[in-house]
């Protein structure tokens, strides 16, 4: 058994997307199964997607000019549904 080349390691995720199991990939490359699992988990962590919500605020933070020196404060009711879902989520989507 050998070791994965850089090119082979980069293609692991592609083969998983195509439906191959990690064990099949290890057999195809003639490398230890553990090595393929480690490379796949490293790739998964590097390409972690964190959902972001981009929106614009249409109403002013303050109506009184003297309050502009303070940070805005929000209540739970002020947040939209998407913001509430993101704040309640325990783990990111992977």
Q: Give the tens place of pLDDT for each residue, 69-94.
A: 877 778 888 888 888 888 887 665 54
Report the distance separating Cα 89 and Cα 83, nearest Å.
Answer: 10
Count of the separate structural domains present in the chain: 1
Of residues 72 and 21, the one with the higher pLDDT is 21
Backbone angles phi, psi at 56, to 5 degrees: -115, 145
Tell me what pLDDT residue 69 has: 80
The reply to whether 42 falls in a domain is: yes
The reply to whether 63 falls in a domain is: no
The reply to whether 67 falls in a domain is: no
Report the distance separating Cα 41 and Cα 86, nearest Å.
Answer: 24
DSSP state of 70: S
Q: Are 82 and 53 in contact (CB under 8 A)?
A: yes
Tell me what pLDDT residue 27 has: 93
Tell me what pLDDT residue 42 has: 87
The reply to whether 84 falls in a domain is: no
The reply to whether 87 falls in a domain is: no
The reply to whether 41 falls in a domain is: yes
Helices 22-29 & 33-46 angle (0-180, nearest 10): 120
The reply to whether 51 falls in a domain is: no
The reply to whether 93 falls in a domain is: no
Alpha helices of the chain — where are they, by DSSP H? 6-17, 22-29, 33-46, 81-88
Tell me what pLDDT residue 11 has: 87
Can you give the residue range of the structural domain that contains 21? 6-46
28-75 tens-digit pLDDT: 999 999 999 999 988 887 776 666 667 776 777 677 778 778 777 788
As a whole number, mean pLDDT of residues 5-29 equals: 90
């Amino acid at each position: 058994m050998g070791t994965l080349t850089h090119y082979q390691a980069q293609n692991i995720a592609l083969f998983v997307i195509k439906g191959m199991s990690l064990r099949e990939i290890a057999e195809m490359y003639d490398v230890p199964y553990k090595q393929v699992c480690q490379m796949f988990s490293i790739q998964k962590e590097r390409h972690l997607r964190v959902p972001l919500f981009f929106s614009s605020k249409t109403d002013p933070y303050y109506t009184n000019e003297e309050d502009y020196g303070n940070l805005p404060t929000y209540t739970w009711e002020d947040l939209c549904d998407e913001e509430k879902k993101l704040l309640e989520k325990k783990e990111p989507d992977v």
